[in-house]
């Protein structure tokens, strides 16, 4: 279930903006992978970023921006698109369904996640808590 941030957001580790084409999902994954190359939750961050970027491309409009930030307890990833008016929501997916599981993954793997509508569009974010050193 989405929940609010528990601590202040720290330093920006990286920002990437791209057109929002389906081929950009791999670029977003590579960006997060290299930005968090020594972080213990790197693989989870890459997976969840992929889900949010895919949702932004499918349901949003225009350019997409990915921001990687440090938090007091780990890392926060924000994905912003121009928005389509539709808010993200979890849905039931059948066994044979090709989609509909992204937010389920986010909900189960992220420490916290939510979305907020701003002047820039819709920002979906998640946080991963860790006690191991980030790098």
What pLDDT digit, counting tens, does each position of 36-59 carry? 999 999 999 999 999 999 988 888
Residue 33, pLDDT > 50, answer yes
In sequence order, the β-bridge partners of residue 75 are 70, 128
> Which two tokens mark 119?
């002047």
Tell me how far apart the 2 most distant CA atoms of the chain are, in Å. Answer: 42
All residues at 6 or more sequence positions from 15 whose CB lies less than 8 Å from its CB, including other chains: 65, 66, 67, 68
Class of domain 10-129: alpha beta
68-100 per-position pLDDT tens digit? 999 988 999 999 998 766 665 555 655 454 555
Give the confidence band of 60 by pLDDT, cuts at 50, 70, 90. Answer: confident
Residue 109 in this model has a pLDDT that exceeds 50: yes
**What pLDDT score was predicted for residue 121?**
87
């Amino acid at each position: 279930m989405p929940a609010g941030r528990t601590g202040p957001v720290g330093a920006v580790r990286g920002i990437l903006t791209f057109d929002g084409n389906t081929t950009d999902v791999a670029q977003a994954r590579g960006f997060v992978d290299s930005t968090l190359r020594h972080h213990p939750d790197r693989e989870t961050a890459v997976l969840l970023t992929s889900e949010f970027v895919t949702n932004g491309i499918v349901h949003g409009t225009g350019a997409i921006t990915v921001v990687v930030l440090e938090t007091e307890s780990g890392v926060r990833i924000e994905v912003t698109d121009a928005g389509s008016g539709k808010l993200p929501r979890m849905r039931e997916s059948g066994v044979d369904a090709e989609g509909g599981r992204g937010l389920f993954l986010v909900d189960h793997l992220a420490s916290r996640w939510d979305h907020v509508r701003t002047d820039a569009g819709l920002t979906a974010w998640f946080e991963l808590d860790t006690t191991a050193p980030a790098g």
